[in-house]
Amino acid sequence: MTEAESLGAVTEFLSGLRRRGWRMEPARAEAPELLSAAHEVAIPEGWRAVLERFSLLVDEHESRWFLSAADYAGTSDSAFAWNAFEQLSLEAAVDDADRRRSTDFWREFLPIALGVAGSYEYLAISRVSGVVVHGAEPEFEEVTLLADDLPEFLAGVADGSLGADFFGKS
């Protein structure tokens, strides 16, 4: 995907969310610095391009939101850390094998959106393969595949064919 195609895909993704009632605030000037400060988070390059476009992206009920550059940098005022569900998984681990399984999972998957409408849920992108998944409590590491890669995810959200339960209907 060229840079122009990527920019167009991100624009359509954001437009698709706004059509479903999501509210967006544009990225602040310090977004690139925040992303640099969050280097240990290992944000996939394609998702960094999305993060450079918003500082807030939240549904109409403020119960589902995309994590922002400030969340990953640890400077947001969110009640949930970007890795809150990883922390919950590790606290709930019953033994070393369970902790290892959780650690391995979260090392691969970066949460990109969180939800607290009814139950805790999230969307994540694989740092290894690029797949986008949905997970929910009580077993956060048991996931459903949403898209094989980021372009498919962005397009599916943009055209309303993906994630109606999480994003709302078009």
pLDDT > 90 fraction of the chain, expressed in percent and rounded? 82
Q: What residue numbers bound the domain in which 52 lies?
A: 3-167
Average pLDDT of the segment spanning 73-87: 94
Per-residue pLDDT of 131-162, as tens digits, reads: 999 999 999 999 999 999 999 999 999 999 99
**Among 114, 146, 122, 154, which Cα is nearest to 14's?**
154
CATH number of 17's domain: 3.40.1580.10
Query: 2-11, 47-56, 83-92, 132-141: which has the minimum mean pLDDT?
Result: 2-11
**Among 65, 68, 50, 59, which Cα is nearest to 20's?**
59
Asked if the model's pLDDT at residue 73 lies above 90, the reply is yes
Q: What is the 3-state secondary structure (H, E, C) of 35-99?
A: HHHCHHHCCCHHHHHHHCCEEEEECCCCCEEECCHHHHHCCCCCCCCCCHHHHHHHHHCCCHHHH
Structural domain count, the chain: 1
